[in-house]
Amino acid sequence: MSRFQNRRSVVLVVALLAGGASLVSCGSSSPSSDTALASTADTALADASDTTLAGKSEEPKVALPKVAPTKLVITDITDGTGAGAAAGDLLAVHYVGVLSSDGMRFDGNFGSSPFSFTLGKSQVIKGWDEGLLGMKTGGMRQLDIPADLAYGDSGSGDIIKPGAALSFVVEMVGIIPATNPADEPKLTIAGATASSTLQSKDLVEGKGKVIAAGDTVALHIVAYRGDTGEKITSTWPEGAPVSLTLEEGGSLPGIIKGVPGMKVGGRRQMTIPFADAFGADGNSEMKLPAKTDLVLVVDLIAAL
């Protein structure tokens, strides 16, 4: 099974993760879909100030169904608390997956960073998009998924053969509700000559966890041309924030350097020299000319 990729259409997300980098640290075969992430502090930031996610490290056993499922079967092992997951929410989960027929394990991430995706956006197999609706934080759920809601007649990789039913146990590590696109910060960015160093300033001081290099975070990002201040793209219209790991290869060097030190719930403006952004060539998809700095306004929604 191929590594999970966030297939969000926002150009910024694609560009920031160019080169095939995954948005989160996860196993090599996560359940991806075959069809296919100065204003005052807003509600989303206020609600996120204490959002830090943590889950169990011990991998649970999957109870095999007596017969291969022909429809989605949902079994709650632990109920969890709080609001149930809804379409558009960013979910962080631990999971283990096996073949329903014989229990052969093909993937799992208990004991490592949570796997995150936006529910209901076809970023995962249909059995997950349907089966995780209503699940609550701290809950654990088994999903027995028929082939037509998994990989169908195509299968995936060497283990998941065509027509294979799959069984998962999923732990809901955290739920980040979809944010309101209207809460996108409305800023006027002054154009400037190219800078040789990363510059940053906090527009909103967060109250949650202090982020360090290596952490996995959920962010909203608005991007501007450094020379003119023209807005070029934003993640806010998509609703859910994007997640990434602050490590080499996980994103642009400027983001890896610029986000650590922020607190969850904060908003930071940073000017990234073109050498730590898209280099001397710029980025044609983002309409960012050659040797042009990138200005980002980053909202730190959660630590995953």
Q: Where along the chain do its domains lie? A: 56-176
More confident residue, 144 or 45: 144
pLDDT 10s digits, 199-253: 999 999 999 999 999 888 899 999 999 999 999 999 998 888 888 888 887 678 9
Mean pLDDT for 258-287 is 94
User: What per-residue confidence (pLDDT) applies to 41?
Assistant: 29
Q: Which residue has the tokens 């930071």?
A: 268
User: What per-residue confidence (pLDDT) applies to 32?
Assistant: 54
Q: Which residue has the tokens 């450094």?
A: 226
* Active-site annotation holds for 106: yes
Active-site entry in 117, 151, 224, 274: 151
User: What per-residue confidence (pLDDT) applies to 56?
Assistant: 58
Q: Check whether 28 has a pLDDT greater than 60.
A: no
Active-site entry in 4, 42, 115, 125: 125
* Active-site annotation holds for 117: no
User: What per-residue confidence (pLDDT) applies to 47?
Assistant: 41
Least confident range from 22-31, 86-95, 226-235, 288-297: namely: 22-31
Give whichever of 22-26, 31-35, 131-135, 249-253 has the largest mean pLDDT: 131-135
User: What per-residue confidence (pLDDT) applies to 98?
Assistant: 97
Q: Check whether 285 has a pLDDT greater than 70.
A: yes
Q: Check whether 45 has a pLDDT greater than 60.
A: no
Active-site entry in 168, 224, 274, 278: 168
Q: Which CATH code for domain 56-176?
A: 3.10.50.40
* Active-site annotation holds for 151: yes
Residues in the chain: 304
User: What per-residue confidence (pLDDT) applies to 30?
Assistant: 54
Between CA 176 and CA 241 the distance in angstroms is 8
Active-site entry in 107, 129, 276, 293: 107
Q: Check whether 38 has a pLDDT greater than 90.
A: no
* Active-site annotation holds for 115: no
Active-site entry in 4, 42, 89, 106: 106
Q: Check whether 34 has a pLDDT greater than 80.
A: no
More confident residue, 147 or 180: 147
List Cα–Cα distances, 77 to 3, 86, 172, in angstroms: 27, 19, 12
Q: Check whether 4 has a pLDDT greater than 60.
A: no
Mean pLDDT for 261-272 is 96
* Active-site annotation holds for 160: no
* Active-site annotation holds for 125: yes
Q: Check whether 62 has a pLDDT greater than 80.
A: yes
List Cα–Cα distances, 208 to 201, 281, 300, in angstroms: 18, 37, 10
The model carries a pTM of: 0.72
Active-site entry in 4, 42, 95, 175: 95
Q: Check whether 138 has a pLDDT greater than 60.
A: yes
Between CA 64 and CA 53 the distance in angstroms is 29
